[in-house]
Amino acid sequence: MNWSHHYATINGIRMHYVEQGEGMPVVLCHGFPHIWFSWHRQIAALAEAGYRVIAPDMRGMGQTDAPPEPSDYDVESITGDLLGLLKHLNIDAAVFAGLDFGAFAIYDLALRHPERVVAVIGLENPAAPHNPEEAPLSEYQRMGEQHFLHIEYFRVPPRADEELAAQPRRFLHKVFHTLSGAGNYFDCFKHPPGTSYIDAMAEPPALPWPWLSEVEMEFFVSEYSRSGFTGGLNWYRSMDLKWQQRRPFEGVQSAVPAYFLGSEHDVDLEGFHGDDPIELMRAIFPDLRAVKMIPGAGHMVQLEASAEVNAILLEFLADIHRQ
């Protein structure tokens, strides 16, 4: 691989990012429990096609600093990281692609700083889950009174922090399979409140899987064994704060061009974005130019269906370049 690793002080934290290629800049933003390496099969493919690809470890995960307080994971801090990365790299504007929390981060950036965003490409998550009538952690707390719910399990430290850090390999092995097209996150709902996330998930098959090798899994395990999980969990614990910060943008539309890539068995599309997820995105980004769905895959789509994801991203980027 021809990618290069870099470290820089950006927006008050030490950020790690990987870069490869030259051309139109494309920033790839991951979610939880991911790191930059979730995009490792995309980086080279996009770079070889003529793009400058930048894949940061998002705040709190991988080798980027993890501030201890949930308030350090608000919208302003997260968008500030992305703006600071552009400034550090002397980039005026870039295409931003994101999955999970990374998708919400790029949507927030496009609404607040559209001049810095050439286009957004959302993977799996079409819009931040948003009920204007009730703060999200309160809503999920009510749901978590009926059955296990991972967001409620994460909400109050330090239980999740300690249990996941004690068994990083077992957690990542189980959660990657559970979130894939071969697993079923919603089986976790069969467990009562108070169950640990590790215990709520079904036993996964032994590695290697068709889409993930033992060595690749070990890289994720190594990084989270070093960093712990608190930084990633703080993205959940700050959901109410981000909800408040997004309220002034209720009903606001962005003129930034948008694209969406989803998969048939994505847990968020199935259970956390309402009956018509794509319309949620179109309500924010009326210039939604293309929607592609990959059959069979789940939330781990970059790894589960790498060739298909690469082809679709290149199709989207070619359209953006033409525009």
Active site includes 299?
yes
Active site includes 161?
no
Residue of 30, 265, 273, 299 marked active site: 299
**HEC profile of the chain:** CCCEEEEEEECCEEEEEEEECCCEEEEEECCCCCCHHHHHHHHHHHHHCCEEEEEECCCCCCCCCCCCCHHHHCHHHHHHHHHHHHHHCCCCCEEEEEECHHHHHHHHHHHHCHHHEEEEEEECCCCCCCCCCCCHHHHHHHHHCCCCCHHHHHHCCCHHHHHHHHCHHHHHHHHHHHHCCCCCHHHHHHCCCCCCHHHHCCCCCCCCECCECHHHHHHHHHHHHHHCCHHHHHHHHCHHHHHHHHHHHCCCCCCCCEEEEEECCCHHHHHCCCCCHHHHHHHHCCCEEEEEEECCCCCCHHHHCHHHHHHHHHHHHHHHHHC
Residue of 65, 72, 100, 108 marked active site: 100
Task: Write out the catalytic residue numbers.
Answer: 100, 299
